[in-house]
Every structure is written in C-alpha cells, then in structure tokens.
C-alpha cells in the first residue's frame, strides 16, 4: 500500500519501524557552514542569514562560538536587540570544560552562560582514541568532563544539546565507551544527543543501524539527533538513514556549506523528508520559501548558487527536450519528480537554436508573454542566426527574455546610450587604472558620467549606474555576481570571437545575460546593458 503526499503528488517511501512523524531542523550554517574555504562572514552577514533561516522556520539556529573570536562575540551581543526571531531558537556553541579543570572557572562555559541564549550545544569527545591521544587523559576523566559541563549548564537554566564528536567512528571501535559518554550527558540533563560523523566517512546502512541501536537504547528519555558530513557524498543520504533509524533532530547547513566537502545539505534533506518520507520538518507553508532562501543565503555568503542543486537549483526543473516538450507542458507530473512549486522553484524550458516553435511558445508562456505565430517565427530565425554568431541562449535566460520581448515589438525606454569609452593606463607606481565614461539619455536629459573601476567592465558598470541610478534607485539592489569570458573559434576563420556571460542578482532573483563580439569590451557592454535592463524590468522600485 502506498500513500500520497497532498502537496506534491509524490508516493511516499515506506516507513521504517523507528521513523518519527516529525523532526527538528537544526541549522549550523553560521558555525559549521562558515568553515567552508572562501567564506568569510561579517557580523551583519550573520544577522541577515539568521533572519532568512527564521523566515524559513528552522527550529534552531546555531550562531557561533561566543568567546572564541571577536566576531562571534559581537554577534551574540547584537543578536538580542537586532534579531526578532519568530520561529527559530538561537543556540550558542562551545565545548566541555578543560581536562582536570573546574566548571565554575571555565572560560568557555562562562561565555555560554553569558551569551543571552536559552539553548546551548556543547561538543565532547566520544571516541576513546581522541580522549587518550588528543586530550591525553583517562577515559573516566573524558566522561566526567561531559557530565560536569552538562550539569553546570543545566543548573544555569539552559537547554543543553550534546554534540557527540566522532561518535560513529568511536562507536564502531569501542561502543562501550561511546555509550558511557552519551549516558553521562543524558543523565545530567542533556535533552538532545547529537551523533556526529565528524570525519564524514560513514555510509547510510551503518548510520541507520547505529542510530537505530542508540534510539532503542534510550527509548523516549532523550531525543537522538544526527550531524553528518558529506565526505563520502552521502551527507543527505546518511541523514535520511538516521531518521529511518529514529533520529528526531537533524543538523545541517543551507546549500551544504561546510569544511572539506561540506555538511548534510538542508536544502535537499528538508524536501526529501517532507515530500518523500512524509516527515514534518518546517512549519506549514514554509517549504515554498526554500529556493528563495537558498539563493538569498548564497548571495550573502557570496558564492554563486549551484544550478545543479537538487530542488533549489536553476536547472532542477529545466527541460531541454525538443520532441517531448509539448508532452511535458501537458503532463508536467510525468516528467518532474515533485511539483517545483512545492519548494518555491519553477519549471523552466531551455531554449537553444534547436528549439522549434512549440518550445518557444512554452517559453513565452513561462515568461507571461503573448507572442503570435509571426513573432515566434522571427524569434526562431534570430536564434538560429545569433547562435551561429556565437550566442548561447540556453545559458542566458535574461537575454533570451529580452530578445523575445523585442520580437513582440517591445523596446526598453528607461535610457538610451549615446556612447561609451574606456581607458586603461599603466602608471609607474600605481599599477593599472581603468576609467570609463558613458553618455546616456535618461528622462529627457543628456547625462555624462565618468567612473573608475578595477577593470573595464567594473568601470563601465559603475559609470552607467552613476548616470541612471538616481532615476532608478531599485538598481541599488542589483549587482553583478559573476563574469565569464570564453574565446570561441569562428567557423568563418576570420579570427576569434569573445562570448561574455554576466550573472546578476537583486537578492531574490538571479539572471544571466550574454554578449558576443570580436571585441571583448563590446561583448561585455552588451551583456551589461541586458543585465541592467532585465533588472529594471523585474526589480520593483
Ligand atoms: Zn560538523
């Protein structure tokens, strides 16, 4: 017998005996996620990310390690006044007391008590090898460090989650010791025991088996959680296995950020649990915020969203199938594993020179454009012609939309470019400097502006914005996130052609525009103008 989930029309996976009806989602993007190489968050970034997570409705937001560095200290100082959390509880992270130390003069524990939070998560060692080799102390002292610290924090009135470090590796080698540590934490009042695959080497069948054993051991006395890294490419699969084993608490990060290969990806595990296994995760109606929140956070951490990301990627529900395209349009549920609306994403038809009229018609419908047969024919012809010159509209939805609008007789009237000029100088002691001047007509005025930049595209972008932004202040939210250049061999053999792709965002929407020319500056300028025009078209004032 199978059951069907009402929201996405999915046949639910068969339940395991230990599987709970609901799990708590614990986000650690701000602590573990920020370990990813290349991420450096300011305190403001962290506050903005926390707001997004609260909107999404995760149960816990781990803010960082108070006292470990000035940034996290400032975050916990500012959070009570600047964050108005509605759905989520802020958690401070720390470790147990020092070896042979006392709880009442332990600095880490004191910082946790002073962090103005009502819940804390402390890490303690569950692998005997780490206790004897890293801490260089006895197993009894290893257990006492956990017991004393949990007791101290509980006495301070805090909810305590115990982060069982290296649990899976430890349990495989010396289950008796690992279990002793968990029991000590539970007895002293930790409400959640989070089993961590710190080195990330476990596989799903092991996780399900081990979590199942621990859940049976503790029964309903304590909540069992999982914290799983993606080193075997199984971070999400391991979390699913953990929930099948009875875990009622799942930790992870948005977009899977984290050190090495990353953490269990919440943007994937949340819809998997909700839509495929029928396990409640977020509050009602929040799942459709998943794609916008994932993209917004990508923007805040300054990493381009992965188009291939399950559920939330730009390509997650993209169809490029000439012959089948009308069937896809008629019966989307035959070609999509869930309804993209359920996670706030959408069906996208990918258009290339091979696209026939029917694909273009669907694309037009997707964009809300009404194009007649004649206009569609024109678009087919322009596509063939432009793709032959080196354009690639499959990768540039923003420019494609503008092209289709123009075929319908539309012209943008926000501004008209008269001319532009870019100068790059090499000065003896200052290195390279670049300056751009643009002349545009905007609102009946002729405006000339000059700006400097760290390169020609940057300088042109700055000058164009200076010329028109006072009239269109919404452009303040639009900026370029990526700039790709590719040199193509032309079939004509008259020399190389440059293709430029620019990714832009207004914080919610992202789009790609394209330019092609023998001159790299001209190609960049085309892509830049399309980016700004698209931004004006879609970014509300
Ligand atoms: Zn971790």
pLDDT along the chain (541 residues), means of 10: 55 90 98 90 94 97 93 95 96 97 96 96 97 95 98 98 98 98 98 97 98 96 97 98 98 97 98 97 96 90 90 91 72 90 90 74 87 88 87 88 92 95 86 92 95 92 95 93 81 73 88 93 96 93 71
pLDDT at residue number 466: 95
d(CA 189, CA 2): 40
| Residue 310, C-beta contacts closer than 8 angstroms, at least 6 positions apart | 267, 268, 271, 316
- The alpha carbon of 473 and the centre of ligand 1 are apart by a number of angstroms equal to 41
pLDDT at residue number 353: 65
- The alpha carbon of 165 and the centre of ligand 1 are apart by a number of angstroms equal to 9
- The alpha carbon of 124 and the centre of ligand 1 are apart by a number of angstroms equal to 13
pLDDT at residue number 1: 37
- The alpha carbon of 148 and the centre of ligand 1 are apart by a number of angstroms equal to 23
- The alpha carbon of 500 and the centre of ligand 1 are apart by a number of angstroms equal to 38
d(CA 111, CA 74): 12
d(CA 502, CA 533): 13
- The alpha carbon of 518 and the centre of ligand 1 are apart by a number of angstroms equal to 48
- The alpha carbon of 243 and the centre of ligand 1 are apart by a number of angstroms equal to 18
Helices (H) and strands (E) in the chain, counts: 18, 18
3-state secondary structure of 417: strand
- The alpha carbon of 176 and the centre of ligand 1 are apart by a number of angstroms equal to 23
- The alpha carbon of 504 and the centre of ligand 1 are apart by a number of angstroms equal to 32
d(CA 505, CA 535): 8
The position carrying tokens 């409705």 is 57
- The alpha carbon of 94 and the centre of ligand 1 are apart by a number of angstroms equal to 13
- The alpha carbon of 123 and the centre of ligand 1 are apart by a number of angstroms equal to 10
- The alpha carbon of 15 and the centre of ligand 1 are apart by a number of angstroms equal to 28
- The alpha carbon of 197 and the centre of ligand 1 are apart by a number of angstroms equal to 8
- The alpha carbon of 263 and the centre of ligand 1 are apart by a number of angstroms equal to 7
- The alpha carbon of 452 and the centre of ligand 1 are apart by a number of angstroms equal to 43
Query: φ, ψ for residue 501 (rounded to 5)?
Result: -120, 130
d(CA 227, CA 33): 12
Other CB atoms within 10 A of residue 138 CB: 12
pLDDT at residue number 491: 56
- Residues 250 and 269 sit within 8 Å (Cβ to Cβ): yes
d(CA 95, CA 108): 7
Q: Give the number of residues written for the chain.
A: 541
d(CA 48, CA 472): 25
- The alpha carbon of 333 and the centre of ligand 1 are apart by a number of angstroms equal to 37
Q: Could you give the angle at which helices 235-244 and 204-218 cross, rounded to 10 degrees?
A: 30
Structure tokens at 479: 């900026």
- The alpha carbon of 475 and the centre of ligand 1 are apart by a number of angstroms equal to 38
Q: Quote the distance between the C-alpha of residue 326 and its chain's center.
A: 32
Q: Which residues surround ligand 1, an ion (CB under 5 A)?
A: 32
CA-CA distances (angstroms) from residue 72 to 48, 110, 115, 161, 524? Answer: 14, 15, 10, 19, 40
d(CA 266, CA 225): 14
d(CA 6, CA 298): 30
H helix runs in 67-164, sequence order: 70-82, 107-113, 128-133, 139-155
pLDDT at residue number 321: 63
| Sheet bearing 510-517, strands edge to edge | 479-489, 496-505, 510-517
- The alpha carbon of 227 and the centre of ligand 1 are apart by a number of angstroms equal to 6
Q: Could you give the angle at which helices 175-187 and 139-155 cross, rounded to 10 degrees?
A: 20
d(CA 124, CA 141): 12
pLDDT at residue number 7: 53
- The alpha carbon of 345 and the centre of ligand 1 are apart by a number of angstroms equal to 28
- The alpha carbon of 161 and the centre of ligand 1 are apart by a number of angstroms equal to 14
- The alpha carbon of 303 and the centre of ligand 1 are apart by a number of angstroms equal to 20
Other CB atoms within 10 A of residue 503 CB: 20
- Residues 52 and 27 sit within 8 Å (Cβ to Cβ): no
- The alpha carbon of 447 and the centre of ligand 1 are apart by a number of angstroms equal to 53
Q: Quote the distance between the C-alpha of residue 315 and its chain's center.
A: 15
The position carrying tokens 């008209």 is 416
């Amino acid at each position: 017998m199978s059951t069907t989930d009402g929201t996405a029309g999915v046949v639910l996976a068969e339940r395991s005996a230990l599987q709970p009806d609901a799990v708590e989602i614990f986000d650690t993007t701000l602590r573990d996620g920020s370990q990813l190489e290349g991420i450096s968050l300011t305190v403001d970034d962290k506050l903005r990310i926390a707001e997004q997570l609260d909107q999404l409705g995760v149960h816990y937001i781990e803010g960082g390690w108070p006292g470990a560095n000035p940034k996290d200290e400032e975050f916990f100082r500012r959070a009570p006044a600047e964050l108005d959390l509605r759905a989520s509880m802020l958690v401070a992270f720390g470790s147990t007391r020092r070896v042979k130390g006392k709880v009442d003069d332990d600095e880490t524990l004191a910082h946790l008590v002073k962090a103005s939070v009502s819940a804390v998560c402390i890490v303690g060692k569950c692998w005997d090898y780490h206790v004897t080799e890293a801490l260089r102390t006895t197993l009894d002292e290893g257990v006492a460090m956990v017991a004393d610290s949990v007791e101290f924090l509980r006495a301070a009135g805090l909810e305590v989650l115990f982060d069982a470090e290296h649990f899976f590796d430890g349990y495989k080698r010396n289950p008796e010791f690992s279990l002793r540590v968990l029991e000590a934490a539970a007895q002293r009042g930790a409400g959640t025991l989070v089993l961590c695959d710190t080195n990330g080497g476990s596989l799903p069948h092991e996780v399900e088996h081990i979590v199942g054993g621990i859940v049976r051991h503790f029964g309903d006395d304590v909540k069992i959680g999982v914290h799983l890294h993606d080193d075997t490419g199984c971070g999400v699969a391991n979390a699913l296995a953990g929930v099948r084993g009875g875990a009622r608490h799942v930790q992870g990060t948005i977009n899977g950020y984290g050190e090495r290969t990353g953490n269990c990806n919440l943007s994937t595990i949340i819809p998997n649990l909700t839509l495929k296994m029928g396990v409640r995760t977020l509050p009602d109606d929040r799942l459709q915020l998943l794609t916008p929140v994932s993209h917004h956070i990508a923007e805040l951490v300054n990493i381009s969203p992965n188009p291939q990301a399950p559920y939330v990627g730009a390509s997650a529900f993209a169809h490029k199938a000439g012959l089948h395209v009308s069937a896809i349009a008629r019966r989307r549920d035959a070609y999509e594993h869930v309804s993209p609306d359920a996670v706030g994403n959408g069906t996208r038809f990918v258009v290339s020179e091979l696209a026939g009229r029917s694909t273009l018609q669907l694309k037009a419908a997707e964009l809300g454009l009404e194009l007649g047969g004649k206009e569609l024919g024109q678009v087919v012809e322009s596509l063939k012609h432009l793709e032959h010159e080196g354009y690639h509209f499959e990768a540039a939805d923003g420019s494609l939309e503008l092209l289709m609008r123009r075929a319908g007789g539309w012209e943008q009237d926000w501004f008209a470019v008269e001319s532009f000029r870019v100068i790059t100088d090499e000065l003896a002691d200052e290195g390279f400097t670049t300056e751009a001047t643009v002349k545009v007509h905007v609102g009946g005025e002729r405006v000339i502006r000059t700006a400097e930049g760290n390169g020609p595209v940057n300088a042109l972008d700055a000058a164009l914005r200076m010329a028109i932004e006072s009239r269109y202040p919404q452009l303040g939210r639009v900026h370029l996130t990526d700039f790709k250049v590719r040199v193509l061999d032309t079939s004509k053999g008259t020399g190389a052609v440059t293709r430029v792709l620019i990714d832009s965002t207004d914080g919610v929407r992202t789009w790609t525009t394209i330019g092609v020319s023998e001159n790299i500056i001209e190609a960049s300028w085309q892509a830049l103008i399309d980016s700004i025009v698209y931004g004006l078209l879609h970014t509300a004032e």
